[in-house]
Amino acid sequence: MMALQRRPHLLLTLVCSSVVLLLLLLNGAAAAGETGQLTVFWGRNKDEGSLQETCDAGLYTTVAISFFGVFGHGKYWTDLSGHPVARVGADIKHCQSKGILVLISIGGEGDQYSLPSAKSALDVADHLWNGYLGGGGRGVFRPFGDAVLDGVDFYVNHGGWEHYDELARRLQSFVRRGGKAVYLTASPVCSLALKDDERTMRKLEVFERLHVRFYNESSCDYNYFETRPFWGAWVTWSSRFPKARVYVGWPASEETSGFVDPQTIRQSVRWSVQDVANYGGVMIWERYHDKMTGFGRAIKDIV
Ligand SMILES: *[C@@H]1O[C@H](CO)[C@@H](O)[C@H](O)[C@H]1NC(C)=O
């Protein structure tokens, strides 16, 4: 509740907003405005309710099942925090019938994944294609049965982005050979753009959508007293990836740093965020907290 009572310094806010607006004007691109797109992560807490319930909430346009968190060393595993896996396939189809995209998110908070070589990237791509996407057949184990996911989200927390672009390109090559389209999204930590690491940034060009994580990261979390780091990072990400749809990733709860209360988003933050041409929408971390706090419901009509 503390954050709700703090008030940003008005003058500072005005100065920052003017700087951002000036940058955007110089940029010359048309504003995206509201897109209505809300992505949520599901699978991190059994008490968040089923995938079907999540899709029936009437809030989200994309759900990222999280996480496919063991890979790269011959073993593969998706951890759903105790959700019964048997019904997930039917729930995926239910979500898709409502026009909601369902992705499998790879990586996450654990440390049992990495891509040590180009070969391991190709192996993981083959595994994802056959086990979750349009491949299959020949005795391949599909945890969600014949449900075909819409794409893959890359949530890489450690080990760097080496070889992940190769994994993504391999998936694209399957699609080119006549498979169903596969959405490729990444959820990079915001601070990546501040590190002057052009080699890694180039790898992210393969993704059509970026859910940038403005949470759990002191260097660009939204701060009510000093908003410049947040705005600087937002302008950096959106201008660096003009061809991608760039989403703002926010936590649904004050338990995670970077939380911005819905009223502040409604009254001020949204105007500048949506003023870039490739603004894509908002990503919410994650469903359990969103169900508890009602964050997504409070901003749904203005994303
Ligand atoms: C938050 O950051 C810590 C430290 O970098 C990391 O271990 C953890 O997995 C992160 N949480 C999420 C949800 O990404």
Pull the structure tokens for residue 302.
């203005």
What is the C-alpha to C-alpha distance for residues 124 and 59, in angstroms, rounded to an integer? Answer: 32
Contact 220, 230 (CB under 8 A): yes
Question: Within 6 Å (CB) of ligand 1, which residues are found?
Answer: 109, 157, 216
CB atoms within 10 A of CB 255: 10
Expressed in angstroms and rounded, the spacing between residue 216 Cα and the centre of ligand 1 is 6
Nearest Cα neighbor of 247 from 198, 287, 220, 284 is 284
CA 164 to CA 248: how far, in whole Å?
A: 22
Alpha helix ranges (H) inside 82-206: 88-97, 118-131, 164-176, 198-203
Over range 214-223, report the average pLDDT. 93
Of 41, 216, 257, best ligand 1 pocket probe by most atoms within 8 Å of the beta carbon? 216
Residue with the smallest CA separation from ligand 1 atom 8 is: 109
Name the residue with the closest Cα to ligand 1, atom 9.
Answer: 109
The pLDDT mean for the chain works out to 91
Q: Per this entry, what is the length of the chain? A: 303
The whole-number pLDDT of residue 9 equals: 52
pLDDT by residue (tens digit) across 168-213? 999 999 988 887 899 999 999 999 999 989 999 999 999 999 999 9
Mind listing the pLDDT tens digit for each residue in 239-249? 999 999 999 99
State yes or no: pLDDT of 42 exceeds 80.
yes
- Contacts of 215 by beta carbon, 8 Å cutoff, 6+ apart: 221, 249, 250, 251, 256, 257, 258, 259, 285
pLDDT digits (tens, 9 = 90+) for 258-298: 999 999 999 999 999 999 999 999 999 999 999 999 999 99
Q: Considering only CA atoms, which residue is closest to atom 6 of ligand 1?
A: 109
Q: Which of 81, 109, 211, 214 to mutate to test the pocket of ligand 1 (most atoms within 8 A of CB)?
A: 109
Structural domains of the chain ordered from first start = 34-302 (3.20.20.80)
- Residue 149 clears pLDDT 90, i.e. is over it: yes
Closest C-alpha residue for ligand 1 atom 11:
109
In whole angstroms, give the CA distance from residue 13 to residue 64: 34
The per-residue pLDDT for 140 is 85
Lowest mean pLDDT among 5-19, 128-142, 151-165: 5-19
Which atom of ligand 1 is closest in space to residue 213's alpha carbon?
A: 14
Q: Which atom belonging to ligand 1 lies closest to the Cα atom of 285?
A: 13
